[in-house]
Amino acid sequence: MVQKLVLIPGLNNTAETWDGVKKHLPSTIEAIAVDVPALPVISDIAAELLKELPEQFYVCGFSFGGYVALEMLAQEPERILGISLMGSLTTADSDVQKENRAKSIERAENGEYFEMTEANAPKTFHPDSLENEELLKLRKKIVEDYGAETYIPHVKAMISRQDRTQVLKDAAIPKLLIAGESDKVITAEKIKEVADQVTDAEYTTISHTGHMIPLEQPVVSAEKLASWIGKVSQ
């Protein structure tokens, strides 16, 4: 039986972020990578995506995409067969994070979006990835396709989102939390803290990657997701 897997990209990412992962998934999984609507409220984003998605599916949300996946789970839990958060958390923003995000919105509104994303590359990638010209070229294309007009509403959505830890705890479905070992944006330690709270969640790490897990380690990402779905769908 073919299982449907919805893949939700993160901030500054388009559906293309998942191309490498999709290529390495087995034929038993039908992967549906989406672009996240440029809306400033997370509940509206989730509702808009749910209109177009299959009746039931597994979902993997990367970073900001994890927040969207959790909101889908809160809205229509009966449609989610299993949820994976990749480089993502269940918690809301702290006051400091909200303040920093508000500043980034201001910079993007002032025409500094591309300057910001370029400056953040060393923080989001593993050092070895910064030597990979093809990878950086792909990232640049994705960022250009995404643009400030999508970034600004998405950051607003992150600022106002709710803590969804209890939603994940209460869901009686398979759960997989994936952390990048060298992730400086959302560290493995933070994701492990969520896994310790959500006691029925499976926790795993991927080595040799920073925050950009689907781009940096598409093969291993696909293997982790395929193994998980294969195990829990039996």
Q: What is the reported pLDDT for 127?
A: 96
Q: What is the pLDDT of residue 83?
A: 98
Alpha helices in 110-147 (DSSP H): 113-124, 133-146
Q: Which of 68, 101, 98 is nearest to 84 (CA)?
A: 68
The C-alpha angle with vertex 221 and arms to 220 and 227, in degrees rounded to 5, equals 85
pLDDT, position 189? 98
Q: What is the pTM of this model?
A: 0.97
- Residue 139 to residue 200: CA distance in whole angstroms: 34
Digit-coded pLDDT (tens) for 5-37: 999 999 999 999 999 999 999 999 999 999 999
Question: Is the model's pLDDT at 206 over the cut of 90?
Answer: yes
CATH number at residue 177: 3.40.50.1820
What are the pLDDT digits (tens) for 124-135? 999 999 999 999
* Distance between CA atoms of residues 206 and 12, nearest Å: 21
Structural domain harbouring 176: 3-232
Confidence check: pLDDT of 234 > 90: no
Average pLDDT over residues 178-189: 98
| Nearest by Cα to 158 from 3, 6, 2, 10 | 10
How many Å from the N-terminal Cα to the C-terminal Cα in the chain? 10
- DSSP assignment letter at 131: G
In whole angstroms, give the CA distance from residue 92 to residue 105: 18
Give 70-120 pLDDT, tens digit per residue.
999 999 999 999 999 999 999 999 999 999 999 999 999 999 999 999 999
> Mapping DSSP to helix (H, G, I), strand (E, B) and coil, where does residue 136 land?
helix
Dihedral of the alpha carbons of 147, 141, 9, 118, in degrees to the nearest 10: -70
Residue 183 to residue 227: CA distance in whole angstroms: 22
DSSP-assigned letters across all residues of 46-114: HHHHHHHS-SSEEEEEETHHHHHHHHHHHH-GGGEEEEEEES--SSPPPHHHHHHHHHHHHHHHTT-HH
Task: Please say whether the beta carbons of 89 and 194 come within 8 A.
Answer: yes
Structure confidence at residue 33 (pLDDT): 98
Give the pLDDT score at 113.
Answer: 98
Count up the domains in the chain and report the number.
1
Overall average pLDDT of the 153-169 stretch: 98
pLDDT tops 90 at residue 2: yes
What does the alpha-carbon distance between residue 57 and residue 156 come to, in Å, rounded to a whole number?
A: 27
